[in-house]
Chain A
């Protein structure tokens, strides 16, 4: 069973302690926290700052610099649509518009049922088979609007993982 996605100061500290000896540990720590809890909670910032001997402002500055890090919980699935040129050349813009319309949300938003968070991405390295999208750690190529709808239906009917 998967570890709890509810964060506690202790669980944040555990992630930090496993990595803080590394040179330049902040990014690995932020990744570890986001991988485990889905986002970097506000409450983690002072703990990280304290552990690394940095100011909270510094830690905030790093979190906000990188598009990847989020400070609020995402939906059950994070769906990224590639917005970059190679995908544009094969209908990426239309797919992007379709995705927003189908989900009824814009980028950085989550559907009201909290199933899907939509994000933009600038290239997934799948540029010979666009338009491309990524869900979790999986990439999908040559995504037509129909294929997109089928995928979304499938994602939304997956049983919830047992959590806790």
Chain B
């Protein structure tokens, strides 16, 4: 009898030794004369269980994790290949693990189940059904479907995707572009990476559908250079998709055209801002452009361009194949569908949690996350990336929904949830926000470029107890100047984490940097 064992190959699994686990499994199988194939699947997104080894059984896949190479012999002895669950690392049937069973996986329905590069696997799980449906419909029809789904941009600004597409469709031009924003610069986020590394055809399909919808024939994925594995997987997936007729000059034999290419960024956070990204794609410094004109009208090389986040585009195949209503029926208020939350930082069970909008942060952090990794009390949470507020416990019961968060000056952003335990020094976090802005500012506006430098200095003085009250007042003013006088959200939102730290954790600004209360 031949066994199939799965060992994930995404960055997180690899960072925890998945390659060594796979090698050890193969070696043990050889010595024991077992007929066993190791499939390198994507990750299921439960980072805390990685490397998560699975074995196929008649009842479904059985999971073991987190596995180290040293665990392999004992796991085999205990009957891993038969799905025996007596070993302490056994987790039972994968699908029944609470962490997965309680999620609503619409976009991430396939990750970890398939071999990311196998087109057959992809097709076996409804892959390319959305593209086939789109090929039978008029551009306006596709745009209407996306509008009806209520999908809003997942890159941070939450702009309705269908409306953006409409503008591009309505702007006549000989050449239009689909640009995927895969810069994923926010700390605490990795959902784009998981989508690209674990289900690359989903993004390819979403982009091809976008191309059909707005009559664009060329797409670019602007990928951050910090993701070399995603680059390798996407390049290979694109080559295979071309070969199979899902990209290129004759999509599925329809005569329709869509070409796709991956372009690497070069370590600049600001290039996640869409106009800076377009400058960068054009081969220039990533200086933010004034808007208008909107990229939808004058985007890449001055031509109409859809710029969408990876997850916005990745949601599209589902919407086209299952219908707008299947997507829109999830969520709350004006936040439709599901949100890919990423539990990160000081968390017991970190990873990807895809849920309909409306869950509370507390549910997420406690029931999924299991609290802090350190076991010490949770103190602050930064949701939505480095430009978003730190939330104190009083705000953990808000439902995750764009409007609810916006009402209290917080953001959902790209869904990153970074947890900090009680050892965090919020004045130090505020300093980092300013420092990050100083390092990453494109330099176009003074409040951002100079303000962030001043911000670091002022916080240093506060922490050194030099004219504390005067410098605190100065910091408040500086934050306001940055909010009011910056062209983009880099300078305009960097104050949010700082102001939230000042407001909710004032004590941390009353002690010196070495921790003594003054």
Tell whether A126 is near chain B: CB-to-CB under 8 Å. Answer: yes
Tell whether B199 is near chain A: CB-to-CB under 8 Å. Answer: no
Contact of A26 among B11, B283, B416 (CB under 8 A): B283
> Which of these binds chain B: A5-13, A110-118, A136-144, A154-162?
A136-144
Quick check: B269 and A127 within 8 Å, CB to CB? no
Interface residues in A64-101 by Cβ distance below 8 A to B read 65-69, 84-90
Q: Which of A25, A85, A87, A90 counts the most B-chain CB atoms under 10 A from its CB?
A: A85
Q: How far is the CB of B250 from chain A (nearest CB, A)?
A: 22
Quick check: A67 and B226 within 8 Å, CB to CB? no
Produce 1/0 per residue, B190-217, CB < 8 A to A.
Answer: 1011000000000000000000000000
Quick check: B267 and A68 within 8 Å, CB to CB? yes
Quick check: A122 and B345 within 8 Å, CB to CB? no
Tell whether B268 is near chain A: CB-to-CB under 8 Å. Answer: yes
Quick check: B281 and A85 within 8 Å, CB to CB? no
Produce 1/0 per residue, B4-16, CB < 8 A to A.
Answer: 0000000110111
Quick check: A127 and B226 within 8 Å, CB to CB? no
The answer to whether residues A65 and B286 also contact, given A84-B386, A121-B226, A132-B15 and a CB cut-off of 8 A, is yes
Contact of B12 among A31, A65, A68, A129 (CB under 8 A): A129
Q: How far is the CB of A54 from chain B (nearest CB, A)?
A: 9
Quick check: B193 and A125 within 8 Å, CB to CB? yes
Contact of A123 among B226, B265, B281 (CB under 8 A): B226
Quick check: A24 and B386 within 8 Å, CB to CB? no
Q: Which residue of B lies closest to A27 (CB)?
A: B283
Tell whether B312 is near chain A: CB-to-CB under 8 Å. Answer: no
The answer to whether residues A141 and B12 also contact, given A27-B280, A27-B283 and a CB cut-off of 8 A, is yes
By the criterion of a CB under 8 Å from any partner CB, how many residues of chain A are at the interface? 41
Contact of A122 among B12, B16, B185 (CB under 8 A): B185
Quick check: A84 and B187 within 8 Å, CB to CB? yes
Q: How far is the CB of B8 from chain A (nearest CB, A)?
A: 13
Residues on B with C-beta less than 8 A from A25 are 283
Tell whether A130 is near chain B: CB-to-CB under 8 Å. Answer: yes
Q: Which residue of B lies closest to A62 (CB)?
A: B285
Quick check: B342 and A127 within 8 Å, CB to CB? yes
Interface residues in A41-75 by Cβ distance below 8 A to B read 52, 61-62, 65-69
Q: Which residue of B lies closest to A82 (CB)?
A: B187
Q: How far is the CB of B192 from chain A (nearest CB, A)?
A: 8
Q: Which residue of B lies closest to A58 (CB)?
A: B284
Quick check: B351 and A128 within 8 Å, CB to CB? yes
Residues on A with C-beta less than 8 A from B50 are 129
Tell whether A23 is near chain B: CB-to-CB under 8 Å. Answer: yes
Q: Which residue of B lies closest to A22 (CB)?
A: B261
Q: Which residue of A lies closest to B11 (CB)?
A: A139
- Alpha-carbon distance A84/B382, docked complex (angstroms): 12
Quick check: A67 and B432 within 8 Å, CB to CB? no
Tell whether B405 is near chain A: CB-to-CB under 8 Å. Answer: no
Tell whether B418 is near chain A: CB-to-CB under 8 Å. Answer: yes
> Which of these binds chain A: B34-42, B316-324, B419-427, B504-512?
B419-427
Residues on B with C-beta less than 8 A from A128 are 12, 47-48, 190, 342-345, 347, 350-351
Quick check: A23 and B301 within 8 Å, CB to CB? yes
Quick check: B190 and A85 within 8 Å, CB to CB? no
Tell whether A16 is near chain B: CB-to-CB under 8 Å. Answer: no
Quick check: B346 and A125 within 8 Å, CB to CB? no
Residues on A with C-beta less than 8 A from B350 are 127-129
Residues on B with C-beta less than 8 A from A31 are 225, 264, 266
Tell whether A145 is near chain B: CB-to-CB under 8 Å. Answer: no
- Alpha-carbon distance A85/B435, docked complex (angstroms): 12
Tell whether A33 is near chain B: CB-to-CB under 8 Å. Answer: no
- Alpha-carbon distance A67/B439, docked complex (angstroms): 9
Q: How far is the CB of A114 from chain B (nearest CB, A)?
A: 22
Q: How far is the CB of A24 from chain B (nearest CB, A)?
A: 4
Quick check: B15 and A140 within 8 Å, CB to CB? yes
Q: Which residue of A lies closest to B390 (CB)?
A: A85
- Alpha-carbon distance A3/B416, docked complex (angstroms): 41
- Alpha-carbon distance A127/B345, docked complex (angstroms): 6
Q: Which residue of B lies closest to A54 (CB)?
A: B283
Q: Which residue of A lies closest to B228 (CB)?
A: A137
Interface residues in B283-330 by Cβ distance below 8 A to A read 283-286, 301
Tell whether A36 is near chain B: CB-to-CB under 8 Å. Answer: no
Tell whether B129 is near chain A: CB-to-CB under 8 Å. Answer: no
- Alpha-carbon distance A122/B226, docked complex (angstroms): 9
- Alpha-carbon distance A87/B263, docked complex (angstroms): 27
Quick check: A124 and B11 within 8 Å, CB to CB? yes
Tell whether B282 is near chain A: CB-to-CB under 8 Å. Answer: yes
Produce 1/0 per residue, B433-451, CB < 8 A to A.
Answer: 0001001100000000000
- Alpha-carbon distance A121/B184, docked complex (angstroms): 13
Given contacts A23-B301, A84-B386, A127-B344, 9 further A-B contacts (CB under 8 A): A23-B282, A27-B283, A66-B266, A68-B265, A86-B187, A128-B47, A128-B345, A128-B347, A130-B345
- Sample (7) of A-B pairs whose CB atoms are under 8 Å apart: A28-B263, A65-B285, A122-B187, A122-B269, A127-B344, A128-B47, A134-B226
B interface vs A, CB < 8 Å? 11-12, 14-16, 47-48, 50, 184-190, 192-193, 225-229, 263-269, 280-286, 301, 342-347, 350-351, 373-374, 382, 386, 416, 418-421, 424, 429, 432, 436, 439-440
The 5 A-B residue pairs whose C-beta atoms are closest, nearest first, are: A128-B350, A26-B283, A84-B187, A66-B266, A141-B15
